[in-house]
Homo-oligomer: A and B are copies of this chain.
Amino acid sequence: MREVAVVGVGHTRFGKWERRTAVELFSEAAQQAMEGAGVEGREVEALFVGSALGDFGEGQAMIQAQCRAELGLGLIPCTRFEGACASSTVAVRDAWMWVASGAYDLVLVGGTERVLPMGTPLATRTFAMAMHSTYEVPAGLTFPGVFALVARLYSRIYGLPLERLREQMAQVSIQNHRHGARNPLAQFYGKYENLKVEEVLSSRMVCDPLTLLDCCPFTDGAAALLLCAGEKARKYTDTPVYILGTGQGAGGPMALFEEELVKPPSRVSSARMAFRQARLEPKDIQVLELHDCFTIAEIVALEAMGFFPEGKAGEAVEEGQTEIGGRIPTNMSGGLIGKGHPIGATGASQVCMIVQQLRGEAPRGNQVDPVPEVGMVDTMGGAYGTLCHLILGRRG
């Protein structure tokens, strides 16, 4: 397999887009990526698009074909991936393979989603379809419900009083909202820069113990990347970022996890696959974007990936270990909580944010200093149904 580099990134503002379709949002992100790399549409050899709810949200299935036409690309292979929230991370991993194998030299990959027009009740219900339709959905389980269960189980297993855990979770919310407030691309840009623990704890209860500020929002947006064969990367950019490792795993339904719901084996195995391929360990990662759909999700992700011991990640967050200068600066973009969560676009957005960090182009206050050499992306779809990891570095 040969080296693969990210040579262009594009990212719409995340938030509410009332007058533009998911196809149009994708085009904005893709054109940014192409213009940045000086690439013409006819040069792109294949398109990979992550999209989760487009059929429901806008009545648009097979969105990849429409994105191709909107961008004026050739009659190239266009593939859509659906892995719930991890849809576009899986798309990036697949695009990586097609370039790494030598089949293509230059491909476009990304994700797009418009969720807000659906409204929260319908979006929550539709979204829950990523769980098992026979065993889980009829039980009334939604994703806030899943992670409320995870929080309670975590508290019990690690003997951490729920009130203490809630304070640690609040700290995740405070940090990610602060990062998001500084990120012009984030849904909550300019908001929630200085949340207090008490504000998080006392915000509206969504699913006990998760309050509104423990939850990521629904979001509209798109993100796109150009991948190219490593040896040709300098043709397009002075700051290529290489894909060093990829991993993917699957798990569920939830009943099969039992107590492992706080350290899901599907995430452990996916992260290990990426570390093994990159020949790196958690200690080598200098900046991390992970799947904080809820505050507790960040805590369990940090532990499953091996950054902190079991039951200890919340404490580490409180100590500033996930901030600049700490052990592993995490979700410096704001993450899902502060930047927003346009489901099928989230993974591609995470990759864009890591590329930004590795290029030293992150917003003031969010840029890790010195500019990191190696970053990592963690995305989860469903209730640990799909996990996908990518490790990126400034050197191939």
B-contacting residues of A (Cβ < 8 Å)? 1, 21, 23, 47, 52-53, 55-56, 58-62, 64-66, 68-69, 75-84, 90, 94, 97-98, 100-103, 126, 129-130, 132-134, 137, 248-253, 256, 265-266, 269-270, 381-382, 385-386
Contact = CB atoms under 8 A, between A and B. Distances in A.
A77 B249 contact: yes
Nearest to A74: B269
A252 B1 contact: no
A64 B248 CA distance: 13
A58 B79 CA distance: 23
A56 B55 contact: yes
Q: How many copies does the complex hold?
A: 2
Nearest to A102: B1
Contacts of A66: 132-133, 252-253, 385
Contacts of A98: 97
18 contacts: A21-B133, A21-B134, A61-B82, A61-B382, A62-B382, A64-B250, A64-B386, A65-B252, A65-B381, A66-B133, A69-B251, A69-B253, A75-B266, A78-B386, A79-B248, A81-B82, A97-B97, A97-B98
A386 B65 contact: yes
A93 to B, nearest CB: 8
B129 A77 contact: no
Given A47-B250, A100-B101, 15 more contacts: A1-B103, A21-B134, A53-B61, A59-B137, A60-B133, A62-B129, A65-B250, A65-B251, A66-B133, A75-B251, A77-B249, A79-B248, A80-B82, A82-B82, A97-B97
